[in-house]
Amino acid sequence: MTHTIREKSKLLARVRRIRGQVEAIERALAAEAPCAEVLQVIASVRGAVNGLMAEVVEDHCAATWPRPRCRRASVPSAPTS
């Protein structure tokens, strides 16, 4: 994943924040926090992981498939009966 080197510090910071959120889940479970609170923290982690994944996928796609030049695409006409 050489294309992620440019964003390495940013990605690592996101992973560290996610680690902190996962540790918050552990603390909430250990403290027998109410179910709604635990679910809220879990949902936060899921959102953070989804955001991280989206960023890595976007960077991967941009590095793998360069953007084509903007040009007007021809739209095929609908078949007539």
What DSSP letter does each residue of 38-54 carry, written as one string? HHHHHHHHHHHHHHHHH
CA-based radius of gyration for the chain: 21
Q: pLDDT tens across 20-77, in order?
A: 999 999 999 999 999 999 999 999 999 999 999 998 888 888 778 777 665 555 555 5
Distance CA 13, CA 18 (A): 9
Contact 5, 64 (CB under 8 A): no
Map out the domains of the chain with their CATH numbers: 2-64 (1.20.58.1000)
Q: pLDDT tens across 30-46, in order?
A: 999 999 999 999 999 99
Query: Which run of H or of E encompasses 30?
Result: helix 8-30
